[in-house]
Every structure is written in structure tokens, then in C-alpha cells.
């Protein structure tokens, strides 16, 4: 899949349809895939952390999650035109699992959140097979791996926050028999209803960050980094 390099980090140039087809092909070919959501915050972290940069660049798909990525691509006359958010990608994979019978495992978030997320997903996707779950505070990694392998899951969603979830996936992918691994951050909190997502019009207007800021004002420090990111993009000489 074609990629665009933004301040050293690869971002996939794709659409939901294209991504879906690629993932179906990966499953058919028994090819392991790692989906990582890219936003300006992760790119800034990766600039200072060579190991993280390598890890992000080694993922199979780097989806353009943040609106800042779209701005960056536009400024540099790149080809990435629309977002693929982590949670929408997860929704697409759940639909796929629902239609094709792929088995799903959930790992991460607090026990009550993950239980609630599981039942909400089962309500929404009537045929989905969620074959297991484990909260994100379990310390025994062997126990986690055994539970996942025993479940014979095909798709695993990992919600430990970033970059913890990306580190976990990279270190454990080889030991797990599943094929599709996606780091989904706070998605279980949204699915369970603990955290509400912005109204659709705000999502479409690229204002999801503003909604999250109003709900969680302490995110201001994380969000101010978007300005630093755009400043770096504007003044970086390298074209995409």
C-alpha cells in the first residue's frame, strides 16, 4: 500500500474500502497485520524516540487518524484527503467479523469498561463472535497470551493507550496466532458509553478535538502540540 512520509513517520494513503479489501486479503493469505492510528501527537513523540518511529513505520497500516494529518498532507501537497479514525476502523473490522464470522478478542481498559464494551458490541453486531476479553491492568503477560491463543481469535483490539498498546502488539504479535492487531486507544471507553463521541457534524467539520477539549479540559496540553506539529510541517523543507 502506498504511504506518505510525514516528519519521518509513514502514513497509509487509503480509503475505508481499500483498507477493508486489503485486510480481507491478509486474512485469506494468513498474513499478520498491525494497524496503528497516526495523529500529530504520535508523530511528535516519534521524532524524539527512534524506537517508536521504527515501530510505527514497521506497522502494516498507519491510518490517518488525526485531522492534523490531513492538514499536513494538504500543506505538503500530498494525497491523504480524509481521516480514517481508529474507532471507525474498529467499526469496519467489527462489521467484517459480523459478516464473515471472524472471531474477535478485546484486550485493554478497566474491567467494567471492557465488559460493557463487549455487550454493546454484541448488541450492535448481532452475529459477532467475541471469543474473549481481558482488562488492561492484568500483569501476567503469559496469562494474556494463553487466553488469546486459547480463544482462537482472528482479530484483536488492544486498548492500552499510546504508545503502550503499540509496544505490546510489536512485542507479542509473534507469540499470538491471531492475524489482525489494532491499537484502539480509548475506543472501549467510547463504545461502553463512558466517554461520548462528538456529534457527527463536529466530526465532519474536523472539530472532534474541540469537543474532546470541552469534555476534558486537561487535554489542552496534548492538543497544543497540534500547533507545534503544523509549525514544523510548514517550515520543513521536505516535500511529501
**Shortest Cβ 183–ligand UDP spacing (Å):** 8
Which one of 34, 188, 209, 229 is in contact with ligand UDP (CB under 6 A)? 188
Q: How many residues bind ligand UDP (CB under 6 A)?
A: 14
186 binding ligand UDP? (CB under 6 A): yes
Q: Is 26 exposed, middle or buried, given 0-12, 13-18 or 19+ CB atoms closer than 10 A?
A: middle
Residue nearest ligand UDP by beta-carbon distance: 136
Whole-angstrom distance, CA of residue 91 vs CA of residue 192: 13
Q: Which stretch binds ligand UDP (CB under 6 A): 96-104, 171-179, 180-188, 203-211?
A: 180-188
Q: Which stretch binds ligand UDP (CB under 6 A): 49-57, 126-134, 154-162, 167-175?
A: 154-162
Whole-angstrom distance, CA of residue 79 vs CA of residue 192: 34
Contact letters for ligand UDP, residues 116-145 (x by CB under 6 A)? --------------------xx--------
161 binding ligand UDP? (CB under 6 A): yes
Whole-angstrom distance, CA of residue 228 vs CA of residue 240: 18
65 binding ligand UDP? (CB under 6 A): no
Handedness of CA 4, 84, 214, 195 (dihedral sign): negative
For residue 77, give Cα distances in angstroms to 38, 73, 139.
Answer: 18, 6, 45
Q: Is 105 helix (H, G, I), strand (E, B) or coil?
A: strand
Site for ligand UDP in 216-235 (CB under 6 A): none
Q: Which secondary-structure segment (H or E) carries 126?
A: none
Q: Where along the sequence are the contacts to ligand UDP (CB under 6 A)? A: 108-110, 136-137, 159-162, 164, 185-186, 188-189
Amino acid at each position: 500500500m502506498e504511504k506518505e512520509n510525514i516528519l519521518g513517520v509513514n502514513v497509509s494513503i487509503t480509503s475505508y474500502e481499500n483498507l477493508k479489501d486489503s485486510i480481507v486479503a491478509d486474512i485469506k493469505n494468513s498474513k499478520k497485520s498491525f494497524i496503528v492510528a497516526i495523529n500529530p501527537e504520535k508523530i511528535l513523540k516519534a521524532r524524539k524516540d527512534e524506537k517508536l518511529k521504527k515501530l510505527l513505520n514497521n506497522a502494516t497500516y498507519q491510518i490517518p487518524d488525526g485531522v492534523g494529518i490531513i492538514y499536513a498532507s494538504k500543506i505538503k501537497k500530498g494525497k491523504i484527503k480524509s481521516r480514517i479514525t481508529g474507532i471507525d476502523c474498529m467499526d469496519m473490522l467489527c462489521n467484517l467479523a459480523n459478516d464473515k464470522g471472524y472471531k474477535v478478542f478485546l484486550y485493554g481498559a478497566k474491567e467494567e469498561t471492557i465488559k460493557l464494551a463487549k455487550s454493546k458490541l454484541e448488541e450492535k453486531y448481532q452475529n459477532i463472535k467475541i471469543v474473549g476479553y481481558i482488562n488492561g491492568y492484568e500483569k501476567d503477560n503469559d496469562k494474556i497470551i494463553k487466553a488469546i491463543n486459547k480463544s482462537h481469535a482472528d482479530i484483536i483490539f488492544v486498548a492500552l493507550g499510546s504508545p503502550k498498546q503499540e509496544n505490546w502488539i510489536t512485542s507479542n504479535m509473534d507469540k499470538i496466532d491471531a492475524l489482525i492487531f489494532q491499537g484502539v486507544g480509548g475506543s472501549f471507553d467510547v463504545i461502553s458509553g463512558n466517554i461520548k463521541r462528538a456529534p457527527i457534524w463536529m466530526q465532519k467539520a474536523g472539530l472532534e478535538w474541540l469537543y474532546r477539549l470541552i469534555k476534558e479540559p486537561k487535554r489542552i496540553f496534548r492538543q497544543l502540540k497540534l500547533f507545534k506539529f503544523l509549525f514544523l510541517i510548514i517550515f520543513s523543507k521536505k516535500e511529501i
